[in-house]
Amino acid sequence: MKYLFLLPYCLTRKGFDIYNILCEEFGKNNVIPASEQPNKYRDTAILGKVTLKLRTINDDFFFNDLICISEKYSENKIVLFPVEERFIQLIYSFIGQYGSRNFVYLLPDQSIFELSRDKKALNQYCYEKKISCPRFYKSSDVMALSFLEHPLIIKPRYGSGSQGIIFINNIEELIKLHDINLDDYVIQERLPDGRDVKGAFFLCKNGQVVASYTHQRVRTYPVDGGVTVYSRFDMNEKAIEAGARVLQELNWTGLAMVELLWDKRDESYKVIEINPRLWGSILLDQFSGAYLLRNYVELSLGCEPVRQDLRKDSEIRWLFPFELMNLVLAKGKISGFWRFGKETCLINITYSSFMRSFMFHLFYYLKAENYKKFLSKWLR
C-alpha cells in the first residue's frame, strides 16, 4: 500500500517549509498540498504542483473536502499533520462523525489537547501536579491586592505571540484590568529576566519521549523582544527534563513544543505554555538531524523511528524580511551577520529551489494581511 502525506496550509510561512521537508524526505509525488482556494498558476509556480481544496472556515466545508480527498485516494493511507490548532480541532470533529477512514496521525486525547492550549487551565494543572510553573492568581485575588509582591503578566488564555499581553508593575497599574474580562486571561507572576525563553521540542507516544531537542534564541525582531529570527540548535538537558515532565503527566501522544522560562531564584525551568502543533522553526528539526517530523510519519505508519543523526552546530535564520530589517535598523552593524556556513538553514529558502522560494516570498509578502503584519512589526 502506498502512503501519502496531506499537508494543509501549505502556502503559509510554516506550511511552505513543511512541504519542502516532506518533498525532500518522501518525494514530491507523495505529498498532497492543500489550501483554502486552489489556484493552478500560483500553486504550480510556488510548489511545482496544484493544491487540493481543504477549507477550514467551518465544519461542513471541511468534512466535505476531507471526504473527497479520502475517496480520491481510497487505496492509500494518508498521513495528517498537526500544522495549526484549528485543523486539529476539525480533525477531532471529523473523526467523531466519520471515523479515521484511511487517515493516520498521532494526536493526544482531545481533552488533553484542549487543556494544553488553554494557558490558564495548563497553569493550574501544573500547579496541582507540582510541576514547576509560575505562580498564578484568580481574578478576585488580584483585584483585592493591596500591594504587589512582584510584577504580574496577564496573557490571553488562547493564542500565541505577544498580542493582548498586559504587564502590571505596581498597584496603580491594576486599573488596566478594569476593561477586560479576566476570565479570558491567565494572571501570573512575571518571572525575573522574562526574555530567557527556551523552546523544547518533543515527539511522544503515550507519554514516552521518542525524540527531543531544544534551541537557544540568539536574536529576535524587534531586538528588545519579539519573534525569534535567529536561533541555534542545542540539547539543554534541564529544559528537556522540565518539558518532558509535563508531557509525561499528560500522557501525550504526537508533536509538541513546550515553552519554558528560566527562574534564577530557584535555578529551574518553569513551564509557560504548550504549543500542541508544529512550530515555526520546524526547518531546524530536519536540518539538525533531530528528525521529529520524520519520526512522526514513521510512528503514524506503525514503523520504528529512525535514529537521530544530530548536527549540533546547526542554526536557523529568518533572513527575509526580519533579519534584514534588524540589519537596517542597526545601520549595517551586526557582527557576523553575513556569516553563512553549511551549518545554517534559512526559513522558506532551504530545501526549496531559488525560483520557488522567490515566488513564495513574492506571493506571501504581497498578500494584504501579511503585508499589514510585516509593516506593523517594522513600525513597532
Q: Take residue 243 and report the three cell numbers written for it.
A: 518539558
- pLDDT of the residue at 63: 98
Q: Put the strands of the sheet holding 103-104 in their side by side order.
A: 52-53, 31-35, 3-7, 77-80, 103-104
Q: At 367, give phi and psi (nearest 5°).
A: -65, 140
Q: How far apart are CA 326 and CA 256, in angstroms?
A: 29
Burial of 270 (0-12, 13-18, 19+ CB in 10 A): buried
Say which residues have a Cβ less than 8 Å from residue 193's Cβ, sequence separation at least 6. Answer: 262, 264
The CA–CA distances, whole Å, from 102 to 25, 68, 137, 378 equal 22, 12, 45, 45
Q: How far apart are CA 14 and CA 8, in angstroms?
A: 11
Three-point CA angle 98, 49, 82, nearest 5°:
40
Q: How far apart are CA 167 and CA 151, in angstroms?
A: 7
Per-residue pLDDT of the chain (380 residues; tens, 9 = 90+): 689 999 999 999 999 999 999 999 999 999 999 999 999 999 999 999 999 999 999 999 999 999 999 999 999 999 999 999 999 999 999 999 999 999 999 999 999 999 999 999 999 999 999 999 999 888 877 777 767 788 999 999 998 766 788 998 988 888 888 888 989 999 999 988 766 789 999 999 999 999 999 999 888 888 776 788 999 999 999 999 999 999 999 999 999 999 999 999 899 999 999 999 999 999 999 999 999 999 999 999 999 999 999 999 999 999 998 899 899 989 999 988 998 889 999 999 999 999 999 999 999 888 756 555 555 554 55
DSSP states of 57-116 as a string?
SSHHHHHHHHHHHHHHTTTSEEEE---SHHHHHHHHHHHHHH--TTEE-----HHHHHHH
